Copies of this chain bind each other. A is one copy, B any other.
Amino acid sequence: MNKKIILASASPRRRELLKTIGLEFTVIPSSVEEDIEHKPFSYKLIEDLALQKVLDVKDKISFPAVIIGSDTVVVIDNRVLGKPKDSNDAFNMLKLLSGRVHRVISAIAVHDNQTQKTVKTSVTSEVSFREIRDDEIRDYIKTAEPADKAGAYAIQGKAAIFVKGINGCYSNIVGISVYKTAEILAEFGVKVL
């Protein structure tokens, strides 16, 4: 019998990903504000943010649980791209990604509120975009997909036609590496398969 698992994230993508590997969990979103744009990228920055989400949810519950927190950023030229503020912002982000390779980094933090064991880490994947014409960017923005996505695109959606290839973990680009999550959960005595 596995311990109770809590996902400290409101992201429907992360929920879907963790469901595909058969993990049973409850979603309790954290109230932590994600304000890491315009800061130079560092792994510590996003891993700490993932852990903050976990600790925020830890304070909200009073039962034994293993809590998973995560945060995803798109990084290009050492700059963090968060969610676009408007269509103009989305256009500029996609223009910046066009024809180039960027990194997607998702941090994972896991904490057991009984043993106090904590693990935090992050996974990096590279994504290679083909050249995207301005009219394609505009058509893509019309699909509304970019609105709530870091870097203004969804690789699991229509933006797949821009992605020549990736190097690394795919689910990490969507929102959380299910490979790494399963590996960490094993350290907490949680069996996935």
Contacts from A to B (Cβ < 8 Å): 20-22, 125, 130, 136, 139-140, 143, 155-158, 160-171, 178-179, 182-183, 192-193
Known: A20-B160, A164-B169, A165-B167. 12 other contacts (CB 8 A): A20-B156, A21-B158, A125-B165, A139-B193, A143-B193, A155-B170, A158-B193, A160-B178, A161-B183, A161-B192, A166-B167, A166-B169
**Min C-beta distance of A171 to chain B, whole Å:** 6
Copies of this chain present in the complex amount to: 2
Main secondary structure of the interface of A (DSSP, over half): mixed
Q: Which residue of B lies closest to A183 (CB)?
A: B161
Q: Which residue of B lies closest to A169 (CB)?
A: B165
